[in-house]
Amino acid sequence: MPRPRSYTYLLGDSPTEAQRLRAQARLWDPTAHALFDRLKIRRGMRVLEIGPGAGSLHRELRRRVRAPVDAVEPSDPFARGIERLAARDGFGQGQIWRANLSTDRRIFYVNNDPIAAPANHPVLRTALSRATGRLLGNNPHQAIQETTGPGNLTAALAAHANGLIAAGAPLDFTLLRNWETVAETRWRLSYRDDQRNWRNMDAG
């Protein structure tokens, strides 16, 4: 099995490097702030920062939007620093993506509730065709998440996105990353408590 790639900054992410970045920020941050002014970054905007490092510009972005700012930060020490920064200013935690997360023993999927799409959208057609083919196939014991659940939708969406990227076309869908903040379970479904629930499967 191939080992997951690890990511390291060229200059490292040690306390000494963090100190150097803070010194660099004192020199260059005013230029970045002027760019933020030109971009009119303001309250209510959704911002993703790539590589916040020691976090000085991340702090400024949060101050301007008065809300959480998402980030892509592969370094664990720097990511933890961003989380501590977010805990202090009262604007809430943003989403931090660590680009080198190991995929070993992980399942990545999108939820399928809710879905808002026009009639005959290719993702829905693919998901329906895929589910129907599996249900009418030779395996009488289909997993729920691979037929009517999120696994089926994820496979259809990934295939659709791959086709758009290959054609050089823009993505025509949006993922709701904060649905859990407004969603709640209203029905107690029996399959969630037995072996039919794929979340209960032993990863080993």
CATH number, domain at 60? 3.40.50.150
The answer as to whether 149 is a domain residue is yes
Helices 76-89 and 56-65: crossing angle in degrees, nearest 10, is 30
Confidence of residue 1 (pLDDT cuts 50, 70, 90): very low
Same domain, 91 and 129: no
User: Is the pLDDT score of 2 beyond 80?
Assistant: no
The answer to whether the predicted template modeling score (pTM) of the entire model surpasses 0.75 is no
Determine, yes or no, domain membership for 27: yes
- Boundaries of domain holding 40: 15-97
Neighbours of 32 (CB within 10 A): 14
Report CA 133 to chain centroid distance, whole Å: 30
Residues found in the chain: 204
5 within domain boundaries: no
Q: Are residues 88 and 131 in the same domain?
A: no
Q: Over the stretch 44-97, which tens digit does the pLDDT of each residue have?
A: 888 989 889 889 999 999 999 999 999 988 888 899 999 999 999 999 989 888
Residue-wise pLDDT tens digits, 127-152:
889 889 888 888 777 776 677 778 88
Say if residue 78 is in the same domain as residue 128: no
What pLDDT shows up at residue 101? 59
**Greater confidence, 9 or 63?**
63
Alpha carbon of 169 to those of 32, 117, 165: distances in Å? 31, 18, 6
DSSP state of 101: -
For residue 96, the cross-strand partners are: 71
Residue type at 203 in one-letter notation: A
60 falls within a domain: yes
Residue 8 covered by a domain: no
